[in-house]
Structure 1
Amino acid sequence: MIFTDSVAVSGVRRTEDGYLVAEARVARTGIQDYLGTEIDPDNEHGLRDKPIVRVYRPESAVFHADAMHSYAYRPMTNGHPGGDGVNSKNWKDVAIGQTGGEVVRDGQFVKVPLVLMDASAIADYESGKRELSMGYGAEVVFQDGVSPEGEAFDCFLGPMKMNHLSLEHRARGGEHLRIGDNQPNTPTGGHDMADSLRTVIVDGLSVQTTDQGAQAIDKLTKQLADAGVNIKTLTDAHAAALAAKDGELAKKDAEIDDLRAKQLNDADIDKRVTARADLITKAKSIADADYTGKSDAEIRKAVVVAKLGDAAVAGKADAYVDARFEILVEDAAKNPANDPFRQHMIHQDGSTVRNESEKARLQMIADMQTAHQPKA
């Protein structure tokens, strides 16, 4: 299969003889896009209806020894001649110059010197016809794969063999070389649609554009993808920050609610003071002791222990201790000695004023009953 490829010219200068000399990168490794209708026109490999066929040029194809030799001393033409390219039969009619013999590898590219010798072609170049397109032949191996750089391809080339270098108004553009098929029946020579336009996929749609347009689309697509990643990163970070703040606020709210639950109003304080004083009064009525610093439960337990001993509370639940305390309080209430209002009626010998009155009354009755009897 005959291909054409676009290149860029550098180091252009004129000689004393009027020739135009320059250097050009004429081939490179990597993957180039191709139209399915051009790479597989008869659909022998099922690629004709595919909008883009990715053709891989391995180093073994570009820098093969036979390929490197074929870059040297190739005829230059003003437009592709069509057919099978340039040969001895049409050289005199189509040649306008040639490539030089100093073929060198320049990274992923092959660079060669060239000389444009035809005055009319030089005039075309100086008036703006400045693209160069390399025409070459290569075997196409229809086999899927992935390049060492990780790019998928649909087929790859065998060793390339250069045929000619054409001066064109519009080639595939610059140093990024693209494969183009030189159809035999191209009316005016030059490039066909595949050589001048590229098909790119934009949002699922096939769009034909120039190589420069495709580069711009690729750049904008990448920027859009990067912007989407950046927006997602910022959104995720913002969501994480909000979640952290929400957590902090929830914790503060819980702390505030806890403090509110623990806060006592004046009425609650009065009730607790009254209940505390009542408890201590009951406790002292049973076992007079210092209950400062003890909780209510500790006070009840201390009273029961003081009255009944440690065995009374050993292994017992708080409810049991509380019940025993209440029983002691009830018993104490029944004992007049524990009534502060009756304390003044109790003599040191334990008798009460009431008992003395009764005794005197009974004595009086007895005296009256025996008053008529003679005294002893």
Structure 2
Amino acid sequence: MVMRYDRAPLKATRTDEGYLVDTPVLTRTGVFEYRDGGGNIRREFRPPEEVFNADSMASLRGKPITDGHPGKVTAKNVRQHMVGTALSGGRQDGENMVGDIHIFDTGPVDAGNKELSLGYELELDETPGVSPQGERYDAVQRNIRYNHLAVVKRGRAGNARLNLDAADAVTKTEEEDDMSMVKIRLDSGLSYDAAPEVANELERLRAEVKTATTKADTEAARADTEKARADNAEAGIAKAREDAQGAALARVKLEAAATQHKVDFKADTADRALREGIIKAIRGDSFDLTGKSDGYVEAAFDLAVSDAQARQDALAAQRREMGGSQKPGTAGKERADGAEPPVSARSARQAYLSNLTKGGE
């Protein structure tokens, strides 16, 4: 829904209390001109079937009369803007719509606001065409629902004005006749009449906001991208450092195993070549690794080293049990490796056999 304001003059009478009572023309059918923030003219058609629609005219009953257009009038702001009320719904009078009104606060009328302008919501049919009177239009106003009636200096409908007696009437100045109101539409969907300088300032501010928003969005996107890059780079460095440390440790262990099994190597000897040399040193040259995958070689290496270590552990245990590691003259003394002296040859043999069994599992 959008908001529109149209204007119409009063043949008003004053009550004993000083109130103004009138049945003026409030609006009419036809093509109305509006201006956007850029000063471009937009022509909108109000066909009779919309202006004189029963529901549309009934929506005027009881609506407030305001001093100028304050925007959309609601229960929250009506007290500060209301100067009167529409006593009836609208009625058709030829090509015009009339209605009964009552103005309590005549100050705005006495100050020169003697024309009328309706504030209403509508749906725009963006279909251009030509009216029965031959006037071209850009869109059609439909489903009109009235929100308020304003007293203004100059109305859009042209014939919508208070029907004042000659003594009350005021001749409009040339400045008022030349005054052109501009239609501005807010983001809420409501449209308002405003002076051209107000509309231009609004458009300037909108352009500044749009530019600032675009710049802020661009900077935010750039900051997010740079942060993501920094986070990824930091994670990559940490991973590379971790991988390098792991690879270095694995190489040290591999070289230690090669040294233990008397396998010759150089600093640039490949890891696979070292593993193959260690496997053959443990298993013998007959152990064929030709055409085997790196995974196979790594598994064969781990198994060979494990078997070799198990045999070494079994032999070391046997020597401890049999006292073979003691030097002459050390019997009965504490051993260098902290082990207890052997109990008997039988128990040493049992320990040896037990270790052999474990090594073969």
| Same topology, TM > 0.5 | no
Give the number of the structure whose alpha-carbon radius of gyration is greater: 1
